Structure 1
């Protein structure tokens, strides 16, 4: 990525949040932009916290601040997924539901990207924005494991947690394609996703673990009052019903017209087009939206790789009621 492309990317992702706070809470911006340039685009080193590996740009100090010091408010929404399971998609749906009456506010909220709202990303100073942001209801996102998120504090504060799960075969293919677009790393082949030793990938998990273990731990909350599981494939197949259910969970009553508007504005095609036009999916940047369809794994995985996933699902999730949809 050229310096010009990098600077444009940083401006697109970092600047919008500044419009939602008063000037005295904007002092972090130079620090944040320097962080983005040095720690995310060029450094490319994994961090570690309590045995869990964090991708470049994800900071142990920021994770600890979110767990111990971040004050959640009644009405806050936290969208949780393992990477490439639908975080951006469901976050956009949540934003459209919460800010549907003010399109200018909605536009600014969308600009408050993962670099502000993800619990683990960036320097601690970014919370200067998130704790003073002028939004009627705040939203957060995270890829962190259950052990590193103070979910009890979120829900006891009146916040809502939405966990998005996706079938592991399509998720792995999506992850492989996404990582190729990251500024600090290239995957050479699917062997990095399905290595011969079966347990090589280390992102937001402990050594020897992966997506299925992360899902298993979060799924323990499935019956909690302020916790909702959203299935990626169900959202793709029947967005009207799933989006209505999300709105109900958030305590928001949608008219039929509002519901259909949100369905249209958060379609995969619409979001991909918006990302391309805004510069968040620019040439040389991260490929956040690709295809998002179920069953794409059939064009990429070998029989042996598919069978490996099946074995691991049975081994790790066999005691749960989770049933993945692969088509």
Structure 2
């Protein structure tokens, strides 16, 4: 989901608070008590090298004379992403580091997608990378060259709010008839009317929480404790949340997008349903985004987007191997039982009822036989 990087750091035990302020507003978020849980010593030059690979990966999709555009993209990413980083804020919503308020606002006001473009919206660690890969395979399955080249339209470019505004030069220039975009923004920060096809993805909040811990512990934006139980307690209590207002987290994000569940251009998708009915859900996605695909091709996409295939592919890709991020861990339903205490699980159940009790959402917490 994030185009981050491998970090090399030495944790220090001293805990110190940081007052989080907006990059483009005067909002004071100190009441949300955001903290930094360690001070990191990082190999910034190595980080920059990985970022450069990510930025340059789109080159085969751009005109030959695009070197200046790519250099601006790289320099912009270094400027907005280099740690230590204070989260930016737009309309009181706190964005995760390197997801930029200025870029989100530019996207809302200025970016006009093509009618055939697809947007995958989600909260982090709900199956976004997997779903986006399914969409990519569907869009380009008849063109082996584009299947290869379209990888370069990676998370740096396709997340609406990620990185610097200048990346939109490359986004617009990329030679793809249809593009798959992503976002972690709440619905009111996305110009919904401009996208003809939007997929909103959810998964059960217990597995999401475990996956989020295993993801963020590998990068240097140190807004979370490294202790697993402390991490769960903190987020269950509604602290240190991102892509929401102070005190909000994943469940509020779901509630926000739920109001668009029946919009003509929106499809609500459940991660656990894809896991348990892979081929059927690919057919539904193909129909929603207006892609004709034969049963044989469905079988190929099922294979190409299986957890094991995608994990192996990520391990073999130079950029993702260097990045060192845990994009694919287990891909299981119910792994939360190996991590959460009974009390933590029960508190999540209580919050689900409190926040989502007036919806028809029923999360799946285990495999259905």
Superposition TM-score, scaled by structure 1 size: 0.94
List alignment gaps of at least 5 residues for structure 1: none
Q: Give the conservation status (yes or no) of the 8 Å contact 2:137–2:147.
A: yes
CA distance in structure 1 between the aligned counterparts of 2:212 and 2:168, rounded to whole angstroms: 28
Among candidates 293, 318, 323, match of residue 254 of structure 1: 293
How far is 1:292 from its partner?
Answer: 1.5
CA distance in structure 2 between the aligned counterparts of 1:280 and 1:187, rounded to whole angstroms: 27
Partner of 1:173: 210
| 2:226 corresponds to 1:188 | yes
Among candidates 214, 221, 233, match of residue 260 of structure 2: 221
Partner of 2:241: 202
Q: Answer with 178-187 or 101-110: which moved more.
A: 178-187
Partner of 1:304: 343
Partner of 2:356: 317
| 2:285 corresponds to 1:285 | no
CA distance in structure 2 between the aligned counterparts of 1:18 and 1:134, rounded to whole angstroms: 10
Give the 4+ runs in structure 1 shifted more than 3 A: 1-5, 23-26, 35-39
CA distance in structure 2 between the aligned counterparts of 1:75 and 1:187, rounded to whole angstroms: 42
| 2:119 corresponds to 1:82 | no
What is the SS of the residue equivalent to 2:199?
strand
**1:1-327 → structure 2 map (5 Å cutoff):** 1=7, 2=43, 5-154=46-195, 159-185=196-222, 187-190=225-228, 191-195=230-234, 198-282=237-321, 285-327=324-366
Q: Give the conservation status (yes or no) of the 8 Å contact 2:232–2:344.
A: no
- Deviation per CA, 1:123-150: give whole Å up to 9, x if none: 1110111112211111110001111111
CA distance in structure 1 between the aligned counterparts of 2:66 and 2:169, rounded to whole angstroms: 6
In structure 2, relative to structure 1, the CA distance for the partners of 1:196 and 1:260 (3 Å cut) is: closer
Q: Give the conservation status (yes or no) of the 8 Å contact 1:192–1:201.
A: no
Flag the structure with higher helix content. Answer: 1
How many pairs align? 323
Q: Give the conservation status (yes or no) of the 8 Å contact 1:193–1:201.
A: no
How far is 1:222 from its partner?
Answer: 1.2
CA distance in structure 2 between the aligned counterparts of 1:31 and 1:301, rounded to whole angstroms: 44
How far is 1:72 from its partner?
Answer: 1.8
What is the SS of the residue equivalent to 2:112?
coil
Q: Give the conservation status (yes or no) of the 8 Å contact 1:85–1:232.
A: yes
In structure 2, relative to structure 1, the CA distance for the partners of 1:289 and 1:187 (3 Å cut) is: farther
- Deviation per CA, 1:45-64: give whole Å up to 9, x if none: 21111111111111111101
Q: Give the conservation status (yes or no) of the 8 Å contact 1:96–1:262.
A: yes
How far is 1:24 from its partner?
Answer: 4.6
In structure 2, relative to structure 1, the CA distance for the partners of 1:136 and 1:304 (3 Å cut) is: same
Q: Give the conservation status (yes or no) of the 8 Å contact 1:92–1:110.
A: no
